[in-house]
Amino acid sequence: MSGDVPGRRYRGRMRILHTGDWHLGRTLLGADLLEHQAAFTDWLVDLARERAVDLVVIAGDVYDRAIPPVDAVRMLSRVLERLAETTTVVLTPGNHDSAARLGFGAGVMGQRVRILAEPAHVADPVLVADDDGPVAVYGIPYLHPDLTRYALAAVPDEPLARSHHAVVHAATERIRTDLATRAGTRSVVVAHAFVGGADPSDSEQDIRVGGVDRVAESVFDGFDYVALGHLHGPQRVGDDGRIRYAGSPLAFSFGERHQRKSVTIADLDAAGAVTVELVPTPVPRRLVDVRGSIDAIESGEFRADADAWVRVAVTDTVHPERMYARVKDHFPHALAITHEPADRPAATAARAVTATSDPVEVAGDFVAFATGGLPDDDERAVLTEAYEAAVLALQREGDR
């Protein structure tokens, strides 16, 4: 077994705890989430021990940015150290992480914590054994096409197509080639990507290149379990349940307020069949939208939501005196307070801009606003090129 947990007995399956998208260091409309993220990691360590987990896989976006705050780095160090006391941990970077920084020291870490951050080594698995034999665990970090289309090309100097599908497909082809040499070995792939057919939230970072951000589900054919990261809503991809997003452990926007956050426990039997259980994660505070007059707010009509993180829309016709202070008296954890008169004439609907909006379309809307006409094909090509160059520059800067 991969972990020496008192009382562990043979179950006839390997138990995998799949999580990801922790975004350590993130805030929610200015509210510091680090304390709540610490509570989640403490809970995760206890869960791994209580459920006799053999393998923990963390599918990217461990940090919220390439250069994370010191407290977030310390938190990750502590949780990996504690998990390694009882289980094996495999971690791969996401698009928010700097692969170089997250992967620092990967070569000298013990066998219990493995960080798979190098695109060139996607076909080098971590082998974890149970009583039924070995399981090969492969890590596919977030692959930016412009940074990996040469490195993953089958023929030198003949780069892959400039798309997420092309580079992820090339990575999985390498993995399939290696797996074919390991007769009787079960397989787990940990990947950070946007797979077609899955539902995004409004807080995930746009990763479009060439106007496309998705890879086909078929690139993961032939693997027993695929542990995905990037999308924040827990969900399966396809019909057989072997390809899944664990989702984020906390809500990172009001658009995620109705998601039931969880981690995934996947039991892999001797034949490679998977049984999945979703374990709800702790909820630090509910996210609630409140809409009403200042009198209704002060009357206690919404008192059940007093301890929640709330967005408050005050609907009085006239802006109430001391509106902000009066709302905060009743909602001390209010994150947004706006005045939206109920009788305001309907305005032309504006398209909301979220993390899932196409940045080139948003820029095109601005061009239309500023000039009175939508950009033509040539102008749109310039906008696309400028956006993708900016994203690439940020990715390279994060890896310096």
Q: What is the DSSP string of 63-89?
A: BSSSS--HHHHHHHHHHHHHHTTTSEE
Residues in contact with 257: Cβ distance below 8 Å, sequence separation at least 6, in sequence order: 251, 286, 287, 288, 289
Out of 77-81, 188-192, 210-214, 355-359, least confident range: 355-359
Question: Given pLDDT bands bounded at 50, 70 and 90, which one contains residue 90?
Answer: very high
Share of the chain above pLDDT 90, in %: 70
- In 3D, which of 249, 250, 225 has the Cα closest to residue 237? 225
Dist CA 225 CA 240 (whole Å) = 10
Tell me what pLDDT residue 207 has: 61
Q: Which whole number is the average pLDDT over 183-195?
A: 96
CB of 242 closer than 8 Å to CB of 226: yes
Q: Which whole number is the average pLDDT over 296-307?
A: 95
Tell me what pLDDT residue 10 has: 44
Out of 36-45, 165-174, 336-345, least confident range: 336-345
CB of 326 closer than 8 Å to CB of 292: no
CA distances from 110 to 49, 87, 190 (A): 19, 12, 19
Both tokens of residue 313? Answer: 């829309």
- In 3D, which of 225, 307, 315, 206 has the Cα closest to residue 264? 225
Per DSSP, the three-state class of 275 is strand
Share of the chain above pLDDT 70, in %: 82
Which comes out higher in pLDDT, residue 347 or 390? 390
Please say if the pLDDT value at position 93 is more than 70: yes
User: Model-level pTM?
Assistant: 0.83
Tell me what pLDDT residue 98 has: 85
Burial class (CB in 10 A: 0-12, 13-18, 19+), 170: buried
Dist CA 138 CA 191 (whole Å) = 8
Tell me what pLDDT residue 210 has: 53
Both tokens of residue 29? Answer: 């409309």
Dist CA 223 CA 178 (whole Å) = 12
Give the chain's mean pLDDT. Answer: 86
Please say if the pLDDT value at position 17 is more than 70: yes
235, β-bridge pairs:
245
Please say if the pLDDT value at position 16 is more than 90: yes
Question: Given pLDDT bands bounded at 50, 70 and 90, which one contains residue 362?
Answer: confident
The pLDDT tens digits for 20-34 are: 999 999 999 999 999
Please say if the pLDDT value at position 351 is more than 70: no
Per DSSP, the three-state class of 173 is helix
The pLDDT tens digits for 37-55 are: 999 999 999 999 999 999 9
Please say if the pLDDT value at position 382 is more than 50: yes
Dist CA 381 CA 397 (whole Å) = 24
